[in-house]
Amino acid sequence: MIIPCEGILIKREIADGGSVAEIALMEGVVQNLTEKWTYPDGMPDSITFELIIEGSVIGQAGFKSIRWFNRKAELSLFIHPQYQEKKIGTKILKAMIAHAFDHLNLHRLEAEVIQYNLAGRKLVERLGFVKEGCLREAKYFDGKYFDILRYGLLKSEYGNIK
């Protein structure tokens, strides 16, 4: 599975790497198959994607802690420092959000950002995520504890960022 994103390849990581699965997930094939082919072992609780630019893997994006009944997932992203601060994260998250709401039929996305990650906080807020809570001193790093900020975005709010 590939999520379209201008200049960046967002490619589903396939655990078993089988050639039949690769063919079944090809554009032009997958839309004609039942969900059983897309998720042969049942509905996954996470879906991860490699981020590739000009043949080089630059990071990973994913939907974690998916709850299909509640139609929600946690959005995650990390990018090699060389590719940060170039609006690549914005393009990737916009593509991931569109995929979540338009193709996976999710109702809600969540994101966690560590208190000291100002760029990450600005990014999710710019994309319409609303700060919903704070996990106080939940991240230990470099001898100190930091808060983890929790954000949410509803499908009904998604139209505002297209």
Q: What is the pLDDT of residues 59-74, one digit of tens each?
A: 999 999 999 989 999 9
Confidence (pLDDT) at 102: 93
Domains held by the chain: number: 1
Are 153 and 106 a contacting pair, CB within 8 Å?
no
Cα(160)–Cα(162) distance, integer angstroms: 6
Q: Which distant-in-sequence residues (6+ apart) come within 8 Å of 98 by Cβ?
A: 3, 162
Q: Which has more pLDDT, 99 or 19?
A: 99
For the CA atoms of 113, 115, 118, 124, what is the dihedral angle to 10 degrees?
30
Average pLDDT, the chain: 87
Amino acid identity, residue 146?
F
Cα(159)–Cα(140) distance, integer angstroms: 36
Residue 52, domain CATH: 3.40.630.30
Question: Which residues constitute the domain of residue 97?
Answer: 2-158
Confidence (pLDDT) at 3: 87
Euclidean distance between the first and final Cα of the chain, in Å?
Answer: 22
Q: What is the pLDDT of residues 97-136, one digit of tens each?
A: 999 999 999 999 999 999 999 999 999 999 999 999 999 9
Taking the model in full, what pTM does it have?
0.79
